[in-house]
Amino acid sequence: MSLKLIIFDLDGTLIDSSVDITNALNYALEPHSVKRLTVDDTIKLVGEGITRLLERVAGDRGDAVSDSVTKRFLEHYTAHILDYTTVYPGVKETLAGLGRYKKAVISNKREKLSMAVLEGLGLSQYFDIIVGSDSTSERKPSPVPVLKVLSDLSINASDAVIVGDSNYDVDAGKAAGVTTIAVTYGYRPREVIAHADYIIDRMTDLVALIDRISGR
């Protein structure tokens, strides 16, 4: 395999943003008598993007309520996006050790918010392209964001891998024809990512795996 590109998921793979997302959700839903969420509740819901997340939490309460909740969520999350969000252990060292490869982020978080997090945590310097949920017509598990990255960087699917913590990442990668790597420390239980081509328990395991995949 002539590996040239490594695509990363963001939340649950590079960063743990669960507390800040939970706080923003609870702020957004406060006027609507919805039970307050715990971080564990949020982790089970995260992955499909803000709009779908809010729909699942608020239920069918009408477009006006939905718009209001979304607005409150974005206001709070934008203002507090890095209050408690942290980089997972070994991420910066691993990214630095993969300098010979092109790297991308594909997140189901909106592009502007994804960029703000990566810049605020000192990670943006490692990536050639950042794609959010609103960067393309479809989001993961659709292959569309993956295909966009491949096209923009002029790289064949056979020369790329995607690294993520959820079935959305694995499914998007497989549908696009790229090799899939799942991490077990993120937001999804091991059984839902068991269909990945490779599974690692720590981000620091990635460099050795990439070397093995690329035949180095």
Q: Is pLDDT of 60 > 80?
A: no
User: Token pair 């993520």 is at which residue?
Assistant: 164
Amino acid 77: pLDDT:
96
Segment 102-160, tens digit of pLDDT: 999 999 999 999 999 999 999 999 999 999 999 999 999 999 999 999 999 999 999 99
The amino acid that residue 150 corresponds to is: L
Domain residue ranges of the chain, discontinuous segments joined by +: 5-16+86-213, 18-79
Report the interhelical angle of 50-58 vs 18-29 (nearest 10°): 50
pLDDT at res. 54 = 75
CATH number of 18-79: 1.10.150
CATH 3.40.50.1000 assigned to 5-16+86-213: yes
Please check whether residue 7 is in contact with residue 170, taking contact to mean a CB–CB distance below 8 angstroms: no
- Residue 9 among the catalytic residues: yes
Q: Which of 9, 16, 159, 169 is catalytic?
A: 9
Query: Would the pTM of this model clear 0.95, i.e. be above it?
Result: no
